Amino acid sequence: MRIEDYALIGDMHTAALVGRNGSIDWLCLPRFDSAACFAALLDGPRAGRWLLAPAAALASGPARAGRRYREGTLILETTWEADGGCVRVLDFMPPRGEAPDVVRIVEGVRGRVEMRTELALRFDYGSIVPSTRHDGGELAAIAGPDSAWLDAPVPLDDNGGTTTASFAVSAGDRLPFVLTWQQSWLPRPARVDAFTALDDTERTWTGWLSGCSYQGGYEQVVRRSLLTLKALTYAPTGGLVAAATTSLPEQLGGDRNWDYRYSWLRDAAFVLRAMIATGYEEEARTWRDWLLRAVAGDPADLQIMYTLDGTRRIPEWRADWLDGYEGSRPVRVGNAAYAQVQLDVYGEVLDCLYQSREAGLRHDAAAWDLQCSLMDYLEGHWREPDHGLWEVRGPRRHFVHSKVLAWVAADRMIRTVERHGRSGPADRWKALREKIHREVCERGYDAERGTFTQFYGSRGLDAALLLIPRLGFLPPSDPRVAGTVEAVRRELVQDGLVLRNRPDLDDVDELAGSEGTFLACSFWLADALALLGRGEEARELFERLLDLRNDVGLLAEEYDTTHARQVGNFPQAYSHVAVVNTAAMLAC
């Protein structure tokens, strides 16, 4: 299955990917970053999955079905035209109660359709086949810390560790299947009524979406991306995963495969700015509180990413028993980037907190104290090299984007003093802001080529430089901005979409292979064009990017223009936040 053949369902604790063929191929329980009990996505059916589809569709190989989300929700409706009739399957995860549940309701629409289900629970990323017991329409599975139950309206069989059932659905039938997980030392959770859960789930998502204030011509697009971003948020803490998956490759068959089921301060800051812009203050408040808890302590210990509960250590290891998505090995769990130095995150965080004040969000004294201590730290360290926002696995450099974000940090602190009456050394920060600006313009700008560069003295470019006008470092009218946009278009655009950099130049990255075009950067090009007054070109690019979304409006991190396929982790918050921000910009 292609990455874009998947749809997302979730309960704001975790998420599952449902394929067009009716197979749930990815699910981590009980949390986004827990071990997967369905990992077929990264190997094949033997790594665990739950298939539910017309039997004829299975016999004739991967079949295509019509599908959509129920309006304003994360309830997936897949409609199959099959021999003898038509059947619809509703897939969703109800709001988390006692335990996580996956509900699949099979509805007969017309005629009579033979159906087949196959459930292979494989705990710990496909490595553990549990013991199972069947009792009529119920399966109980257990191994180590995990136990699960399938409550089915039809008799179940066991076929060598896979639970199966064949049954017929007639017009008007509604057959509910409920999979429930629990820690193995606890009793079975109370049974969930699938139809009540359907109503609750619908009410939860539509109620949340009714708070959306976006108006401007792309309502449906913005609403779907906001729902996706909300689905990537871990409700108990307010932390947000960068994506629902690990190790979907940046290059098909390559080794640039990373685990994104953690909270990056940068990504979350982008998301929160989009949430504020679309009326979601509560999300901003919750994330601000998550941030205050996660980074509390010495600002020197600030990390670029944390787990959803703020845990700092995220050791990286390889699940070598998995073949990887279309052979893209290794499958990584954890992310060694947590130990990197990326100085831009200070600017991201301070900008985000400034924007939330501008939006009228109340901050207590602790928030301002945190801002001041982050600024103090940055004041003493902005001149140091870092790994940059693309998290290069190579030597530290003086990345221009990181320095620009140091300027942003000082700028937003000054504005907070001036506009929000907080007390702080504004004159000192003004001198610092000026010093950073001067240095970036002297050392990060190549006057001969008329462009800012990736790092001081580099030959390469960086798509993140497209953010310069939006961040206010230079006005759009400055010729250096137009020069940089043109240089990016000349050197980083591939088939109309933007690469984040050229890792082969200047040996910026020690990894082998290449990657697809980076979707967030392509949206940033649209933003830059809009700011330069080239609205038509901006809109054209934006609409081309929207056409890359799959049939249910989802985007991965990257797009491989050679194979015309989405690549990288999926769905990716960075890409969806860019959809919202560019739509907002084009509405102005």
Residues near ligand LLGJG24Q (CB under 6 A)? 242, 256, 258, 260, 264, 266-267, 335, 337, 389-391, 393, 574
Long-range contacts from 495-499, C-beta under 8 angstroms, 24+ separation? 495/561, 496/541, 496/544, 496/561, 497/522, 497/545, 497/559, 497/561, 498/463, 498/466, 498/522, 498/524, 498/525, 499/463
- Minimum CB–partner distance for residue 344 and ligand LLGJG24Q (Å): 9
What whole-number distance in Å separates Cα of residue 262 and Cα of residue 360?
28
Closest to 258 (Cα-Cα) out of 333, 319, 338: 333
- Minimum CB–partner distance for residue 270 and ligand LLGJG24Q (Å): 9
Which pair of tokens denotes residue 21?
């063929």
What type of residue is 532? L
- Minimum CB–partner distance for residue 390 and ligand LLGJG24Q (Å): 4
> Residue 90 forms beta bridges with which residues?
77, 105
Q: Does residue 56 sit in helix, strand or coil?
A: helix
Cβ proximity to ligand LLGJG24Q: between 178 and 265 the closer is 265
What whole-number distance in Å separates Cα of residue 307 and Cα of residue 160?
36
Cβ proximity to ligand LLGJG24Q: between 318 and 393 the closer is 393
Per the listing, tokens 């003093």 go with 417
Cis omega (within 30 of 0) on the bond before 54? Answer: no
What type of residue is 50? W
- Minimum CB–partner distance for residue 536 and ligand LLGJG24Q (Å): 30
Cβ proximity to ligand LLGJG24Q: between 24 and 405 the closer is 405
- Minimum CB–partner distance for residue 320 and ligand LLGJG24Q (Å): 18
- Minimum CB–partner distance for residue 532 and ligand LLGJG24Q (Å): 24
C-alpha separations of 183 from 29, 98, 123, 141, 145 in Å: 10, 11, 12, 11, 6
Closest to 223 (Cα-Cα) out of 7, 12, 72: 72
C-alpha separations of 523 from 248, 464, 529, 538 in Å: 21, 11, 10, 9
Per the listing, tokens 């053949």 go with 5
Cis omega (within 30 of 0) on the bond before 187? Answer: no
- Minimum CB–partner distance for residue 232 and ligand LLGJG24Q (Å): 11
Q: Count H helices and E strands in the chain, helices first.
A: 15, 28
- Minimum CB–partner distance for residue 580 and ligand LLGJG24Q (Å): 16
Cβ proximity to ligand LLGJG24Q: between 43 and 267 the closer is 267
In what helix (H) or strand (E) does residue 494 lie, and over which residues does it extend? strand 493-494
Cβ proximity to ligand LLGJG24Q: between 5 and 557 the closer is 557
DSSP character at residue 216: S
Cβ proximity to ligand LLGJG24Q: between 314 and 414 the closer is 314
- Minimum CB–partner distance for residue 500 and ligand LLGJG24Q (Å): 7
Cβ proximity to ligand LLGJG24Q: between 181 and 262 the closer is 262
- Minimum CB–partner distance for residue 310 and ligand LLGJG24Q (Å): 17
- Minimum CB–partner distance for residue 168 and ligand LLGJG24Q (Å): 45
DSSP character at residue 242: S
Cβ proximity to ligand LLGJG24Q: between 98 and 504 the closer is 504
What whole-number distance in Å separates Cα of residue 410 and Cα of residue 304?
19
C-alpha separations of 100 from 10, 13, 15, 75, 344 in Å: 10, 8, 10, 16, 37
Cβ proximity to ligand LLGJG24Q: between 337 and 466 the closer is 337
What whole-number distance in Å separates Cα of residue 532 and Cα of residue 526?
10
Cβ proximity to ligand LLGJG24Q: between 260 and 382 the closer is 260
Cβ proximity to ligand LLGJG24Q: between 337 and 530 the closer is 337
Cβ proximity to ligand LLGJG24Q: between 401 and 480 the closer is 401
- Minimum CB–partner distance for residue 229 and ligand LLGJG24Q (Å): 13
User: Are the beta carbons of 100 and 93 closer than 8 angstroms?
Assistant: yes
